Amino acid sequence: MSLTDAPHPLRSVLIANRGEIACRVIRTARRLGLRTIAVYSDADARARHVREADEAIRLGPAAAGESYLAIDKVIAAAQHSGADAIHPGYGFLSENAEFVAACDAAGLVFIGPPASAIAAMGDKAAAKARMAQAGVPLVPGYHGEAQDDALLREEAGKIGYPVLLKASAGGGGKGMRVVDSEREFQAALDGCRRESRAAFGDERMLIEKYLTQPRHVEVQVFCDSLGAGVYLFERDCSVQRRHQKVLEEAPAPHLPEALRREMGEAAVRAAQEIGYVGAGTVEFLLDASQEQDGAFYFMEMNTRLQVEHPVTEMITGEDLVEWQLRVAAGLPLPKSQSELTLTGHAIEARLYAEDPDNDFLPATGTLERFGIDLTAGGLAADRVRLDSGVEAGDDVSMHYDPMLAKLIVHGEDRGQALAEMDRALAALDVSGVTTNRRFLQRLVTHPDFIATELNTRFIEHHHDALFAAPHAIDADIARAALVAIDQLAMDRLARNHTNGAPRTDDPWQHRDGWRLNAPRRLRLAFQEIDGSGTYEVIATQGLTQGLAQEPAQATWQLQVQRDGEETSRLAGQCQRLNNDTLALTLDGHRQRLFARLDPASEGDAIVLTAAGTESRLIWRRADRADHLPQEAEAKLTAPMHGTVVTLLVEPGQAVEKGTPLVVVEAMKMEHTLNAPADGAVEAFHVAVGDAVAQGDELLAFVGKEASADTGREN
């Protein structure tokens, strides 16, 4: 039955969200013949989801509270456009019972569960109490209504440290922190309350025992309005940072079939207990040390479609957004439990605009390049999927979540899926904005991840290996030199092309090492992106029958020097396969890789990407000004664009090194700046609520020794 002939006919849908999920819903809705309406804030006026929808309606300023979270504005946009239904996506209003009630009152179909189900699971403390009554195992903790500081501290002591503070109305890692000792409790509680109040308008907390090595396994459930319910198997989301998922895979590795069925059936019972309708996810903590014995604990239920739903789609072959639309129209579930099958293995990696090597600080800027070359990467289109809300040329702002895209791969088994993900990440071409792509490559190639030794503290446990900035090796330097030589040759051809006819007869215009009666010779200087090593390559072109070949065709002898000392000599050739793909041969080892000059570094950074690796080197071009990054002067400056949340000390107050001084919020996360040394804050240059740009000086700080010197002078 078509959606137009359903009990609740659908002809048009408004997507009350932005970015990747809005684009995702638009694709399926359009395939089903629905008219799509987007909404946007001023910051998203030129966003991809606005461009792709049939219509788009402005909600208001960039602040989410005045646009995407403004219920009255969203309802008005739906009525103005003549929409039949509203799809909330995930985040924003997707789990807001008041919003569902407003849709009902306006005669709009809400593509999700009823308000009563959201209310039952939206309050984490109430949900846990209800699950306890239903006999679902819970992690030991405090879920009570009393919220005074002393009581919460006392309850944490009873549970035993470490404990996990969680916003009762929360989700997505907001208002959530691990507390290792009583000494840290109050500061963590204050921070969680601020984040929860800002994100959810509710600062109630619950406390749970923090399991040190749990796996995060969640079950995808679906219920229709006719009383049927199914589970579409499970996902493992154990690899997280700051309680936000980084990698997800389906099915969960090494999960016994009996336990899979037990968890799936328990999830369906939990959903049906609250009268659930639509897509939902029941999340469990699986004790990694006892998984064979079936030790799992209910954590929460997300009453919406999850970010990681594509891995479930890959292993089941089902379109979950289509299921949502059909169920919302009053139609029965497309399949029964016995008709659902699980095929192969899928992995999803979340691509964020952030700097993992700088405490995951969010990044902003303009995407100069964005996409994936499946052909060059040797990837099959039916096994690789890139769900994104951005394209090349789009701006990445400070106002919203920093996720740019999701890269999803499918394989016949987990090993094949891992190999596909490694190649797909290598083929992903992103520049102009710092991302976590290289970090994701380190994750999926880590021996313990490959061996499925998974738990929610995986990143923390393997910090040294995942965050170490590997020094460029001689082979990387030699490859960069070949790319630089190739680029110089291309520059020469472009310069000598006059009036449509190439000119190659003027050797004095060449900058490719040409010499009279001698082989070409070049001196190329490089530096690692973090400034840790300086290199020089002396490249001498080999002769063929006494004649010098064109640089791009020649064999070059490469003498690599590090900080003035020779480290190796290699022979290399470069063959350009297309605009971005090169074949580089070093001492007989031929490797196909992607190479580009990164516009983010004013054209000086050579970026080399191959399966499992990425190298970034600053090329100090002799024909350009020196763009090498200079060591920044030590100042307490804003690490990114954001808003000042709180000032934690008074001007003139003496502080010790590491004392928290100011909190800045950006992209829904708080970042605390600490005292760089013993000393005092002379004055703050900002106030609470001020918007700051990356690099803005926030305060004047004087070290203890400087303060003492000043006192002696007086």
pLDDT tens-digit map of 340-387: 999 999 999 999 998 887 788 888 888 988 999 887 668 889 999 999
Contact of 284 with 299, CB cutoff 8 Å:
yes
More reliable by pLDDT, 108 or 546: 108
Kindly report the number of other CB atoms within 10 A of residue 235's CB atom. 27
The active-site residue out of 235, 304, 414, 492 is 304
| Residue 475 to residue 468: CA distance in whole angstroms | 19
Q: Does the structure show a pLDDT above 80 at 456?
A: yes
Contact of 108 with 75, CB cutoff 8 Å:
yes
- Between 3-12, 482-491, 499-508, 670-679, the lowest mean confidence (pLDDT) is in 499-508
For 522, list phi and psi in degrees, rounded to 5. -130, 145
What integer pLDDT is reported at residue 360 of this predicted model?
85
Q: Which one of 127-131, 161-165, 309-313, 602-606 scores highest in mean pLDDT?
A: 309-313
* DSSP per-residue letters across 543-561: EETTEEPPGGGS-EEEEEE
DSSP 3-state percent helix, strand, coil across the chain (nearest 5)? 30, 30, 40
Q: Evaluate the omega torsion of the peptide bond into residue 162 and state whether it is cis, within 30 degrees of 0.
A: yes
The band of 673, judged by pLDDT with boundaries at 50, 70 and 90, is confident
Q: Which one of 121-130, 141-150, 302-311 scores highest in mean pLDDT?
A: 302-311
Q: Does the structure show a pLDDT above 70 at 291?
A: no
Q: Which residue has the tokens 């390049």?
A: 369
Give me the mean pLDDT over the 585-609 stretch: 74
Q: Evaluate the omega torsion of the peptide bond into residue 502 and state whether it is cis, within 30 degrees of 0.
A: no
Q: Does the structure show a pLDDT above 90 at 252?
A: yes
- Widest CA span in the chain: 90
Q: Which residue has the tokens 């403390």?
A: 125
Helices 149-159 and 185-200, interaxial angle, to 10°?
Answer: 110
| Residue 689 to residue 708: CA distance in whole angstroms | 33
What integer pLDDT is reported at residue 515 of this predicted model?
54
Give me the mean pLDDT over the 487-506 stretch: 62
On the 0-12 / 13-18 / 19+ scale of CB atoms within 10 A, 101 is middle
Q: Does the structure show a pLDDT above 90 at 443?
A: yes
What integer pLDDT is reported at residue 624 of this predicted model?
55
Give me the mean pLDDT over the 185-210 stretch: 91
More reliable by pLDDT, 441 or 622: 441
Q: Does the structure show a pLDDT above 60 at 498?
A: no
Alpha helices by DSSP H, 33-148: 48-52, 71-81, 97-105, 115-122, 124-133
Known catalytic residue: 576?
A: no
**CATH topology of 3-111 equal to that of 214-467?**
no
* pLDDT per residue as tens digits for the range 648-660: 999 988 888 888 8
Q: Does the structure show a pLDDT above 80 at 695?
A: no
Contact of 229 with 279, CB cutoff 8 Å:
no
Superfamily holding 214-467: ATP-grasp fold, B domain (3.30.470.20)
- Between 225-234, 420-429, 500-509, the lowest mean confidence (pLDDT) is in 500-509
Q: Does the structure show a pLDDT above 50 at 627?
A: no
What integer pLDDT is reported at residue 94 of this predicted model?
96
Which class would CATH give 3-111? alpha beta
Q: Does the structure show a pLDDT above 90 at 516?
A: no
Q: Does the structure show a pLDDT above 90 at 295?
A: no
What integer pLDDT is reported at residue 697 of this predicted model?
85
The band of 613, judged by pLDDT with boundaries at 50, 70 and 90, is low
| Residue 561 to residue 567: CA distance in whole angstroms | 5
More reliable by pLDDT, 602 or 421: 421
Residue percentage of the chain with pLDDT more than 70:
86
More reliable by pLDDT, 634 or 559: 559
Kindly report the number of other CB atoms within 10 A of residue 574's CB atom. 24
More reliable by pLDDT, 127 or 68: 68
Span between the terminal Cα atoms of the chain, in Å = 87
| Residue 425 to residue 408: CA distance in whole angstroms | 10
| Residue 440 to residue 2: CA distance in whole angstroms | 41
| Residue 426 to residue 431: CA distance in whole angstroms | 13
Q: Which fold has domain 642-713?
A: OB fold (Dihydrolipoamide Acetyltransferase, E2P) (2.40.50)
- Rounded to the nearest integer, the mean pLDDT of the chain is 85
Q: Which residue has the tokens 């990407």?
A: 609
The band of 68, judged by pLDDT with boundaries at 50, 70 and 90, is very high
* DSSP per-residue letters across 306-349: -TTHHHHHHHH---HHHHHHHHHTTPPPSS-GGG----SEEEEE
- Between 40-44, 491-495, 616-620, the lowest mean confidence (pLDDT) is in 491-495
- Between 53-57, 182-186, 602-606, 681-685, the lowest mean confidence (pLDDT) is in 602-606
3-state secondary structure 461-502: HCHHHHHCCCCCCHHHHHHHHHHHHHHHHHHHHHHCEECCEE
What integer pLDDT is reported at residue 623 of this predicted model?
55
What integer pLDDT is reported at residue 602 of this predicted model?
43
Helix (H) or strand (E) holding 713: helix 704-713
The CATH number for 140-209, chosen from 3.30.1490.20, 2.20.28.10, 3.40.50.300, 1.10.1740.10, is 3.30.1490.20
Q: How many CA atoms lie within 13 A of 382 on its CB side?
A: 4
Q: Which DSSP category does 134 fall into?
A: T
Q: Does the structure show a pLDDT above 90 at 163?
A: yes
| Residue 616 to residue 75: CA distance in whole angstroms | 48
What integer pLDDT is reported at residue 185 of this predicted model?
96
What integer pLDDT is reported at residue 600 of this predicted model?
42
260: left (phi over 0), alpha (psi -120 to 50) or beta: alpha
What integer pLDDT is reported at residue 597 of this predicted model?
76
What does CATH list as the number for 474-497+510-620? 3.30.700
| Residue 528 to residue 79: CA distance in whole angstroms | 56
| Selection from 625, 614, 619, 594 nearest residue 604 by Cα | 619
What integer pLDDT is reported at residue 663 of this predicted model?
87
Q: Does the structure show a pLDDT above 80 at 552?
A: no
| Residue 442 to residue 440: CA distance in whole angstroms | 5
What integer pLDDT is reported at residue 630 of this predicted model?
33
What integer pLDDT is reported at residue 218 of this predicted model?
97
Q: What is the pTM of this model?
A: 0.72
Give domain limits for the chain.
Answer: 3-111, 140-209, 214-467, 474-497+510-620, 642-713
The band of 605, judged by pLDDT with boundaries at 50, 70 and 90, is confident
For 346, list phi and psi in degrees, rounded to 5. -130, 145
- Between 185-189, 225-229, 451-455, 667-671, the lowest mean confidence (pLDDT) is in 667-671
What integer pLDDT is reported at residue 565 of this predicted model?
81
